[in-house]
């Protein structure tokens, strides 16, 4: 099964609203990352948060990490139509060389 599971699977909001996506994982990690994928394209890295960090910001993005609950959340504030994409979390599976991706959240921002 997937190391990461995103929730919700799909999210539709109006432009200007905030979007929150959650990710849960199963094993210990060194870091957790969030990626964005526009339809039919490669993934683009958004933010990396290490296991000893609790919160991280990058522009309109805010990521939190709760290692005790093995969960993370991605908040996109003041969403724009251009934020429409799929968002994935990925973990380093306990410090191994491989990254395990979740199933993704499909975000649609309506203008």
Residues that bind other proteins (CB under 8 A): 2, 30-31, 33, 35, 40-45, 48, 88, 90, 92, 97-104, 106
Indicate the residue among 15 and 56 with the shorter CB distance to other proteins: 56
Indicate the residue among 44 and 82 with the shorter CB distance to other proteins: 44
Shortest reach from residue 4's CB to other proteins, in Å: 8
Buried b (16+ CB within 10 A) or exposed e, 7-40: eeeebebeeeeebbbbbbbeeebebbbbbbeeee
């Amino acid at each position: 099964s997937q190391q990461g599971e995103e929730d919700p699977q799909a999210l539709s909001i109006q432009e200007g609203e905030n979007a929150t996506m959650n990710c849960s994982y199963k094993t210990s990690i060194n870091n957790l990352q969030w990626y964005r994928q526009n339809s039919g394209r490669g993934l683009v890295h958004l933010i990396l948060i290490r296991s000893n960090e609790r919160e991280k910001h990058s522009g309109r993005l805010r990521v939190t990490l709760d290692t005790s609950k093995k969960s993370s959340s991605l908040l996109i504030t003041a969403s724009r139509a251009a934020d429409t994409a799929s968002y994935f979390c990925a973990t380093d599976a306990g410090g191994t060389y491989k990254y395990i991706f979740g199933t993704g959240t499909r975000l649609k921002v309506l203008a």
